[in-house]
Amino acid sequence: MSPRIAVVGVQMGAKADRLSPEELARVAHELLRHDAELRCDPELHPDILGDVRKRADQILAPLVDEIANVDEARRAWRRPWAVAALVLLVAALLVLRAVSGTAVLPSWPSAAVITFAVALVAMGCFAFVSWWNVTRRRNRTADVELRAALLPPLRALLRLIISELQDDEARWSGTLSTTKAPALVELNLQDTIPSRTYERLRTFIAEHESSATGVAGARGSGKTTLMRRLSLDDTLGCHVALVSTPVKYAAVEFTRLIHGELARAGLRSSAAGLARRHLAAPALRVALRTLLMAAAALLLVTLWLYDKNRPVPTSFDLGWTGLSAVALGALILGFALNRAWAFFRIRAGMSTFPQSTRELCLQQLEFLRWSTSVERSASAAIKVSGSGFEGGSKLSQAEREVTHADAVQALRQFVEQLLALGGRPVVICVDELDKLADPAEAVDAINGLKDLFHVAKAHFVLSVSTDAMLSFAARGVPMRDVFDSAFDTIISVAPLSLDESQTLISRRARDFSRVFVLFCHAWSGGHARDLIRTARSCVDLKRDLQDGEQADIALLSRRVLRHDLREVVDATVEKLRGDDGDLAKTMLDPVLAFQEALEDDAANLHDLLKRIKFPPDAGMAAMAAEARPATTLAPYARIAALCERLFSISRPPAAWQAEAMSDAVIALAEARAALGRHPREIERKLRRAADACALADVSG
């Protein structure tokens, strides 16, 4: 059960648009009481809530827009009361004067005055009800958005604090006590990328007038999260557009896609305001404009009727039916005038120069959405007594098809106008270039974007996986050369450090022993996606234990390693069977033998590898691309054997915390991260890991 965050609890402190730490602590307390995953000893609650107050800025900093919307929604309740009170006061005075017999207007009888007062109250009630409904809906929307944005990072912080408050015996236990881990999935949290990688990218953008940056890393290493974090960084002070590369590349459409995303990014960043203006009751504005125009139309009709009887005006008494008909007609006319005014504003906005970032972005979105066609016609006729000549001409003009050069020029002009109006730099992030199936299209995409590089105060960040680069290179496309030559710098997404892995898992899983964190880090190589998957596998395999089996590190690590190895071996067998080359056929036999040996759960991996003789890496370059995963199977299995040996021994908490153990885990992670590199580098990393594991065994 998720606690509800009450909008009334939002308090404004010294700075505007801030949620108080006390309110955050109150919500955290509700989570601790009602969330089954976060329940703990009530005696720990004061310490936990104290840490929440101290770390409030970590939670609240990314929520500036949501908090501002809640505060604006709260202030909206106070605005129309004065107007409503004034309308009721005027209506009451009119009725009192009419009932008392005093002439309010010389030519209006009492019935007309009362009718006018009732109509005034009715129109006021209509406007008030419209405001009430819209404001209530706005409050609910702001509440839901704040709750949706606040609860995931707050839950993560509570898990981390609870983990930190555990004693060493529980924190370094060799038994896994985690039973639920709903957050062990690839959620969009900022802890999936190393802070040093993000700071390097952010610093490079901030220190240069314009730049073109390439981001490289393995699939799942956090490139997309890196770009999303960039788009959420308000301290950067930029319009950040995040574009995902389409599977099918078309130069014009791709450029227009970037153009549209940048316009939407400009709308988002031009107002913690824009969201508030959109929430600021469009229905209410329509109602008020309609009433205003209806009142103006009614006034004009009244003046016209009064003027018809000059110089001796008669009694202005339309009766109830007449006045109702006039009021209804005025409302209909006011609504029609309001629609005409809205249409005129749209048409005028397309043809006038925008005066703000918001107007510019809306204009650009209209430009991208619609095409323009112009049609002119003229006719002339001369007739005498029913006979003569008649002629005509017609000219139609339609926009020609947009070329890539036109799209690039339009985007360049938009960037320059955006900078001129707002003064904020532009960051365009293009993600997942490796989604393009054809390597030539990936090269064309990079070359096409070069036309936009180095516009003043415009920064481009493009990502591609190193796996795709290697795959493209194997197919004869020098992707690395194109990627390197196109950018000012290449930033590689480094693997997570051991401490970062610890923080990531502690924020996503409650009571997750640090011994299991050591195993997950070693086996994943610090790769964020694999780290989460390995931790989730440990929790899932714990649920599948039979009666009498204990969820200790030796049993669960062994089963995780065997499960992953079987998946890789099965995939390798399928790849080798798809290759008709002699080298693939030679490799298939030892892989099949290893697949069969893995069925023996009693034997350890170290002994199994001694019985299997994999062919050397020499000559693998001649193998087809489909069979290349087989080249990393042997080192992959050796890393698994080292992990199994290191974590198969029961150790006291002090042994797990020893420096030699940390060195062994880090060495294993480096070897795991090196898979796919040159065989000599992999072998060197493996020897270092084996030596570190042997030293840890001696020390333990």
**pTM of the full predicted structure?**
0.72
Please tell me which of 157-161, 314-318, 394-398, 546-550 the model is most confident about, judged by mean pLDDT.
157-161
The pLDDT of 654-663, averaged and rounded, is 93
Helix, strand, coil percent values for the chain (each to nearest 5): 65, 10, 25
Cis ω for the linkage preceding 311 (within 30 of 0): yes
pLDDT more than 90, % of the chain: 15
Closest CA to 289 of 328, 339, 344, 325: 339
pLDDT of residue 400: 62
- Higher per-residue pLDDT: 354 or 160: 160
Q: Is it the case that residue 310 has pLDDT exceeding 50? A: no
Q: Is it the case that residue 669 has pLDDT exceeding 90? A: yes
pLDDT digits (tens, 9 = 90+) for 117-145: 666 666 667 666 777 777 778 778 777 87
Closest CA to 642 of 581, 697, 571: 697
The DSSP string of 253-311 is: HHHHHHHHHHHHHHHHHT-HHHHHHHHS-HHHHHHHHHHHHHHHHHHHHHHHHHHHTTT
pLDDT of residue 7: 37
The token duo for 33 is 């009481």
Closest CA to 675 of 495, 502, 499: 495
Name the 3-class secondary structure at 327. helix
pLDDT of residue 684: 93
pLDDT of residue 383: 56
* Measured distance CA(541)–CA(520) in Å, rounded: 14
Q: Is it the case that residue 2 has pLDDT exceeding 60? A: no
Angle made by CA atoms 549, 551, 557, in degrees to the nearest 5: 110
- Higher per-residue pLDDT: 233 or 518: 518
pLDDT of residue 380: 58
Pick from 210-224, 395-409, 500-514, 519-533: least confident: 395-409
pLDDT of residue 422: 79
pLDDT band at residue 610 under the 50/70/90 scheme? confident
Pick from 19-28, 137-146, 304-313: least confident: 304-313
